[in-house]
Amino acid sequence: MNGKPIVRLQNLSKTIGNKKIIKNLNLDLYPGQITGFLGPNGAGKTTTIRMMVGLMQPTSGDVLIDGQSIKTNFEESIQKVGVIVENPELYKYMSGYKNLLHFSRMHKGIPKQRINEVVRQVGMENRIHEKVGSYSLGMRQRLGLAQALLHKPQFLILDEPTNGLDPAGIREFRQYLQKVASENGVAVFVSSHLLSEIELLCDRIAVIQNGELIDIKNVNELHHSQYYIQAEPLELAEEVLAGIGFSLARQDKGLVIDTEEQHIPGAIQMLVSAGVKIYAVQPYRATLEDQFLEMTGGGQIAQTHAK
């Protein structure tokens, strides 16, 4: 793991009325690592994020940012946090640069040199002196990222950061975010309903359901070795492979089997010997969506912000 965690959720819980919304969440976030936060509708993602940035008091438990409790040392801990929400609040009649200058005055000791640094980091040198009203949504999002980075936060939290962006804008934002995480050693926490994007952006994912953290996985762990075999007759292929101990599932006109590459030739040989016709054999990669549905028992991913 990347050194000691920057953020620690310790038995974080929230009860509203007599309903326990969040149940004893424990999660560590590390420097340079991007963690995706996923959950079905009503799972408790927004409540968790609100507690992490001090907008809601936990009923019990705590959030520590660089060792400082958000409950007892709010000012010190929140200084280390940068937040980007969908469609950041910007002054459209001012230039991008003047927006950053305005926001820099809200924090002590941010020199103009730092503004130039973040402008370079998010690739906005050519348009920074133009009015924000003339910016595309992707550019406004990049300016929002620059604004969140001004005070050199150690922890960056993003809620639906790519909502409404076109594919090129999403890819661009992803590249800048990964660059920030790796170059600055920032711990990044991203809540999004775009599963394919989370898969490309994040190093690992944390899944919440009914207020409980049900799984934390590295993204590369999600893709264990599987192969797709298109064969006929399918029932016979299934019988042969199951008979020699393969774990398998039907998929379209074929079967997905869990195995390592070196076992494929032997499996094909057995199938052909049994009179099965083989039409295709290829590596099979289950998507994060498949994995998510499996983890949550088919729970729908939260899309409350989706446009």
Do 110 and 252 fall into the same domain? no
For Cα atoms 41, 165, 306, give the angle at the middle one, nearest 5 degrees. Answer: 20
Domain housing 278 = 224-284
- Domain CATH number, residue 186: 3.40.50.300
Is 92 part of any domain?
A: yes
Torsion of CA 237, 242, 247, 253, to 10 degrees: 20
Cα separation of 160 and 305, whole Å? 7
pLDDT above 90 for 133:
yes
- pLDDT tens string 108-127: 788 889 999 999 988 899 99
Structure-model confidence comparison of residues 241 and 259, the more confident one: 241
The pLDDT value given to residue 224: 58
Q: How many domains does the chain have?
A: 2
Cα separation of 271 and 240, whole Å? 7
Is 292 part of any domain?
A: no
The pLDDT value given to residue 305: 38
pLDDT above 80 for 303:
no
Q: What mean pLDDT, rounded, does the chain reach?
A: 85
Do 173 and 145 fall into the same domain? yes
pLDDT above 70 for 166:
yes
The one-character DSSP state at 219 is G
Q: How confident is the model at residue 264 (pLDDT cuts 50, 70, 90)?
A: confident
The pLDDT value given to residue 57: 92
- Domain CATH number, residue 249: 3.30.70.120
Q: In sequence order, what DSSP letters do the residues of 223-267 get, joined into one string?
A: ---EEEEEEESHHHHHHHHHHTT-EEEEETTEEEEE--GGGHHHH
Tell me the pTM.
0.75
Residue ending a domain, choose from 203, 218, 233: 218
The pLDDT value given to residue 100: 94
- pLDDT tens string 51-98: 998 889 999 999 999 999 998 998 888 889 988 876 677 889 999 999
The residue with tokens 């640094």 is 117
The pLDDT value given to residue 293: 65
pLDDT above 80 for 306:
no
Structure-model confidence comparison of residues 231 and 283, the more confident one: 231
The pLDDT value given to residue 307: 34
- pLDDT tens string 3-57: 799 999 999 999 999 899 999 999 999 999 999 998 887 888 889 999 998 889 9
Structure-model confidence comparison of residues 294 and 72, the more confident one: 72
Cα separation of 191 and 43, whole Å? 12
The pLDDT value given to residue 281: 87
Do 49 and 163 fall into the same domain? yes
